[in-house]
Amino acid sequence: MKFFAALCLLTLINYSSFAQDLSGVLKEGDRLEVLPDEKAALAKFKEALKIQPSNLYALTKCSELCARIGGREKKNTKLRDEYYNTAIIYARTALRLYPESDLANVTMGIAVGKSILLKSGKEKISAAKELKAYAEKALKVNPNNFKAWSILGKWNFEVSNLSGLERGLAKIIYGGLPPASLKTAISCYEKAAALSPAYLYNYLELAKAYHRNKEHQKANRQLQTLLSFRNTTEDDPRMKAEAQELLKKWE
């Protein structure tokens, strides 16, 4: 009996130590991300996965960070593609382990969304259908997932602007794509903005949608609001530079 009690106590102590180690690594990853030092944060979240390979938060963070870091690799396209592929692997693992998680579904949507930029023709259309499905599944689980609303906005914005050739290809291969419109894109972006007013990416995309819809004052206000925020990710300076370029272009 004493041996059994000692064994239980030892197990409890080891589990507590494990939980503290994992929590500390995740917190350090969060701290590094907001510095921002995203490559160091990625390394830290990878360390968390060594402690607990099935950790949903670490898996989705690794995927999201790989997608963002890859997006900044403008010259080294091979490295960019490696980051994008790795982002999909992490997201797919999260989705396999947690198929009903809105976080896993939206992370997969982000990874697929990045990969769409590298595709054309049949592959692009197939990825677009996947993207919509992941966003809608995330919203079914959690209607307040602002990133899912933003992804759905991006889907409507891009699909409503497909070329005649791409639409024809979609019809031949898939019998067409679901209806998409600029109006729906704007509505989705506005929903994301209401849920998370500090999501800078959404301001940039909503500005583009307003501008295409000839709502120029609204478009400019989105860009000006974006510029008023402090930087919290390594992507923010790039987005702000793009916002400034668009303001000059739209004058």
What pLDDT, on the 0 to 100 scale, is given for residue 199? 96
Mean local confidence (pLDDT), 93-100? 98
pLDDT in tens, 113-146: 887 766 666 677 777 788 899 999 999 999 999 9
The closest alpha carbon to 158, from 180, 179, 187, belongs to: 180
Round the average pLDDT of the chain to a whole number and report it: 89
Mean local confidence (pLDDT), 15-35? 85
